[in-house]
Amino acid sequence: MKNLIWILCSMFLITSCNSNPAPKTTKDVKTTTDQKKERPSYAVAIHGGAGYQTRESISKEQDMEVRSALNKALDAAEEILKKNGTAGDAVVAAIQILENDPNFNAGKGAVFTHNEQNELDASFMDGATMNAGAVGGVTNIKNPIKAARAVMNHSPHVLLVGKGAEDFASLQNIEQVDPSYFKVEERLESLRRAKAQEKAKVSKHGTVGCVVMDQSGNLAAGTSTGGMTNKRWNRIGDSPIIGAGTYANNNTCAVSSTGHGEYFIRYAVAHDISALMDYKNLSLEEASNLVINEKLVEAGGAGGVICVDKDGNVSTPYNTSGMYRGFATSNARGVAIYKDEEMK
Ligand code: ASP
């Protein structure tokens, strides 16, 4: 009898422990989007880079240009998603718009290397198949995000770099341009300033990225960048590294990163967010805040991420003074630049 009571008590304790919600690992977790409670039928989030954006450092004109570009990229993604298009198509459509806009450090307007060249990196991941593709250090591919997706779709590899990546892109009939196409005078000035200080700072006009949940519940993520000003020796950052700059898994979330790439590689940031959801059962918001606002802050890694989970929740934490960012779901939409504003 005593034994039976003991067994019943233990069973009660075990079930009550299991029904406790997962412990909150982040304090002051802030909802980054004002989404309505009901599950959206699709969701997209974009970034145009995290860095030192403050109201003082950005002109009124540039502020407006950036907001308009972010809205155009959201429009392009939404147009596809409303028609039941795929998450992957929406990611590429949105990123292409930002790559073509000189306000961002991706495609045209990319930052300069120490040798005054533009070397571009991009990656793409499909959460349904866990397939991925990436290119690094390319100099003549107009839209590196297209080449990244083509590596996934038309090669047995994940990451191609330099001349080989360019040869592959040409075989795929992906548009190539003269390297001078990417050149924007303002970026050259940034390089000269950085060289004068001999220090590569995270560019305030950053990398671009997009994450999507489509109407079938599939996730995809993509990231494209010129890297960091004054980079040398064919440096490759996190943006073309799957698990660091980009990650998508239909069971958890899709993530695109921006910031000081060396930290994002070492801390496997994009995959870490997915893993915390997978193994620790954290929500998207808890997992992304833990990685960006705790782990990376402790390590000294500046930057942010945009993420969407399998239920269409969006989270966009960053630990810098601003991040060009935006989101759109079937229920709501918003864009923002500075720390003191919500996406609206
Ligand atoms: N993460 C990019 C890199 O390190 C730079 C950025 O996002 O601004 O190449």
15 pLDDT band, cuts 50/70/90, is very low
The predicted-structure confidence for 152-171, as pLDDT tens digits, reads as follows: 999 999 999 999 999 999 99
CA-nearest of 126, 37, 87, 77 to 328 is 77
Q: How far is the CA of 91 from the centre of ligand 1 (A)?
A: 18
- Indicate which residue of 33, 86, 207, 225 is catalytic: 207
For 48, 51, 53, 62, 204, the CA distances from 58, given in Å and listed in that order, are 14, 12, 7, 6, 10
Residue 9 has pLDDT above 70, yes or no: no
Stretch 90-112: mean pLDDT:
96
Stretch 84-105: mean pLDDT:
97
Q: How far is the CA of 227 from the centre of ligand 1 (A)?
A: 5
**Minimum mean pLDDT among 4-8, 44-48, 100-104: which range?**
4-8
Looking at residue 12, its pLDDT comes to 39
Looking at residue 142, its pLDDT comes to 98
C-beta of 222 in contact with ligand 1 (< 6 A): no
Tell me which fold the domain 46-338 belongs to: Glutamine Phosphoribosylpyrophosphate, subunit 1, domain 1 (3.60.20)
- For the chain, the domains span 46-338
Q: What are phi and psi of 97, to 5 degrees?
A: -60, -40
Residue 230 has pLDDT above 80, yes or no: yes
Q: What is the dihedral of CA 196, 198, 202, 208, to 10 degrees?
A: 70
Residue 218 has pLDDT above 50, yes or no: yes
Q: Is 31 a catalytic residue?
A: no
Looking at residue 199, its pLDDT comes to 55
The predicted-structure confidence for 247-290, as pLDDT tens digits, reads as follows: 999 999 999 999 999 999 999 999 999 999 999 999 999 999 99
What is the pTM for the complete model shown? 0.88
Stretch 10-26: mean pLDDT:
36
The predicted-structure confidence for 167-214, as pLDDT tens digits, reads as follows: 999 999 999 999 999 998 888 888 888 887 765 454 445 899 999 999
Looking at residue 254, its pLDDT comes to 99
Q: How far is the CA of 241 from the centre of ligand 1 (A)?
A: 11
C-beta of 209 in contact with ligand 1 (< 6 A): no
Looking at residue 187, its pLDDT comes to 87
Mean pLDDT, the chain, as a whole number? 89
Kindly give, in sequence order, each residue whose CB lies less than 8 Å from that of residue 174, ignoring residues fewer than 6 positions away: 141, 142, 143, 146, 147, 150
Residue 323 has pLDDT above 70, yes or no: yes
